[in-house]
Structure 1
């Protein structure tokens, strides 16, 4: 079972986070905490996302409209990387000759695509 944190614990753990900023992230559905009888509960992945959001807002001085777009792009990148890992895992189950043929075809396509 993973550890869950209250709003107060999250705000305490992340120095640049305020209750207003956390509320903004949750309202924009950039962070979606688990709801419990004692209020919203945040997991480790939520804390990592909140830290990243605070860094983006503070260090890059992003406006409110830009943050959801950037997080969406980061999420898409992570999903694409996960899909590629799954594809590579599936390829390892194929016979060697199939893997070699796919590897050769992939290398040829990359060579053509590179200027």
Structure 2
């Protein structure tokens, strides 16, 4: 966990007012122990929002949409990695059947790519 003052010191571009707005808009979630603190994952999200806002100049009204799409992408990636691990645990016959059942455009040539 990182306290808000430590986070502001670590991320030089981060403005306290912006961070408070992101918390209010529920773009990030702060733990409210003795003051505000953030998990490692929320700190990474804040850095991402800083990049989107300050460097890429994503409009404030578009930010929730962009973050929602990125959240969906990360969730899909996590699920795909989990599925890949589960398939790798299966015997080669089942792996081959799964590859054979996939769409031809998926560009899998064998179970070595699972």
Q: Same fold (TM over 0.5)?
A: yes
Whether 2:101 is the aligned partner of 1:102: answer no
Tell me the distance in 1 between the aligned counterparts of 2:69 and 2:99: 28
Tell me how far apart the structure 2 counterparts of residues 8 and 95 of structure 1 sit (CA, whole Å). Answer: 52
What is the CA RMSD across the aligned residues, in angstroms?
1.5
Aligned to 2:21: 24
**Aligned counterparts, 1:67-82, within 5 A:** 67-82=63-78
**After TM superposition, what 4+ stretches of structure 1 lie above 3 angstroms from structure 2?**
none
Query: Of residues 66, 80, 83 in structure 1, which corresponds to 2:62?
Result: 66
Structure 1: give runs of 5+ residues left out of the alignment.
none
Q: Normalising by structure 2, what TM-score?
A: 0.85
- Taking structure 1 as the reference length, the TM-score comes to 0.84
1:13 equivalent in structure 2 = 10
Aligned residues: 107
